[in-house]
Amino acid sequence: MDIKVPAVGESVYEAVIARWLKKSGEVVAKDEPLCEVETDKVTLEVTSEADGVLTTLAAEGETVKIGAVIATIDARGAEAAPPSGSAAPPEPPPSGAPAAGTAPAKATPKGMAPPISPSGRKLARELGVEPQDVKGTGRGGRVTREDLLKAEGAEPAPAEAEPSPAAQLAPVGKTEPAPAAPPRPAPAEEAERVVRKPMTQIRKRIAERLVSVRQQTAMLTTFNEADMSQVMLLRQKYGEHFLKRHGVKLGFMSFFVRACCEALAQYPEVNAQIDGDDIVYHNFCDIGVAVGSERGLVVPVLRGAESLTLAGIEQQIAQYAEKVRQNRIAIADLEGGTFTISNGGVYGSMLSTPILNPPQSGVLGMHAIQPRAVVVDGEIVVRPMMYLALSYDHRIVDGQGAVGFLKLVKEYIEEPEELLLEG
C-alpha cells in the first residue's frame, strides 16, 4: 500500500517531510501517525492506512510534490516482523567473526551517508574527507572526529606555544611568567558554536508575506490604552459559572472580538480590502485570531464572529488552539479573514506595532495588562491598563477612521456590560 502526501489546499503544490515519527522497517498500526509534512501554510500528520511494515521512500527535509508516494506499507510482513521497539534475535556469528560482546564497528555501505553531526560534516569538508568512505566507530556507526582525522592521515600534533609579547620584551634575568592565552577551541567545538538550519516552509511563507506587506501597503499604526477594570471584574464575578456552563474559560479575547465586530460595523473601511481598482466591503466579520505555534504564527478564522456569543467565541478559539497543538489545522481554517486580532500580551509584550495580514486592511494588537497611575475624575488612581495598537492600510483607511475605530473599541472594553453580555 502506498502512502502519499495528502492534498491540503488548491494553492499548495509541494510539501517538506518535517520528520518521520516511525522508522523504515517498523511495524505500524492503522491510523498510527507516520510522519509530519510541512507546507507553507500548515503542518499536518500523515497516518497509516493499514497494519503492516513501513518502508520510507523520502528522507527528512526532502521536498515532495502533493500526491507523491513517500512510503509503503507491507501488510504481509506485519506478522513476521518484530514488534516496534523490540530487537530481533541475534544470529550466530560466522566462522572467524568476533565473539558476542565485542561490538565491532559497522562500516556504512558505499554511497550511503553515515550518521554524523553537523560539526563533523564541517570538519570533513575542511579535511577533504568523504564521510561515506569513513568507517564510523561511534555509537550506531556514527562517524566521530577521531575517525575523520585518522582517515585524513594523522592526528594533528599539539601546536607549540609561542612566547607572548610580554615575555619577549621582558628584561634579562626576569623570570615572571606572562599570562597564558586562553586555549583555542578545537575545530569541532568551534563549529558547534554556530548552528545552521534550513528555514521551514511556514517560516519562508511568513518572511515573504511580511516583506510584501511593507512593500505593497501604506501601513500606519495608531495607539490608545484601555482600562481593563470592568472586564477583569466581570471575569472574576462570572468566570466560574461561565466555565461550568460552557466548558471553557472566559478569556479577554472574546471581549475584544465582540468589541471589534461592533466597531467594524461603524467603520466598514477597516473591514474592507483592495481588489485591483475596487474596494471590497464586507457585511460580515470573519475575525482571524493569531495563535503561536512551535513552527510559527498561524491565524485561524472565526467565521461570522458578529453573530457569536462570548461562549461561542471562546469555544472556537479553544478548538483551534487544540488543532494547532496537534498539527491538525487545515487550510480552510486559515483562509478568508476580514480582520485580525493579535495578543502579544500573553508573551509579556508591553507595546508593539502589529503587521497587516494581507489582503486585510486592519489588525488590532493587544498587549500586557499592567497597573499604572492614571487620572480619573481629576484624581490619580492605579488601574489595570492595556495598550492597544491598530495597524491599518492608509490607502483605504483614513487616520480619522482608524482613530475613531480604536476609540470605540476602548469604550466597549471599558464599559462592557450592556454591549458584550447580551448573548
Residues involved in catalysis: 394, 398
User: What DSSP string runs through 16-54?
Assistant: EEEEESS-TT-EE-TT-EEEEEE-SS-EEEEE-SSSEEE
8 A C-beta contact, residue 258 and residue 231: no
**Nearest CA to 59 among 102, 105, 107, 18?**
18
* Angle of CA points 181, 161, 172, to nearest 5°: 90
Strands (E), 185-258: 219-227
* 344-353 long-range Cβ contacts below 8 angstroms, 24+ apart: 344/368, 345/369, 345/386, 347/292, 350/387, 351/223, 351/387, 351/389, 352/389, 353/221, 353/389, 353/391
Is 143 in a helix, a strand, or coil? coil
- Which cell goes with 368? 500586557
Cite the DSSP H helix spans in 88-184: 118-127, 145-152, 165-169
Distance CA 362, CA 355 (A): 9
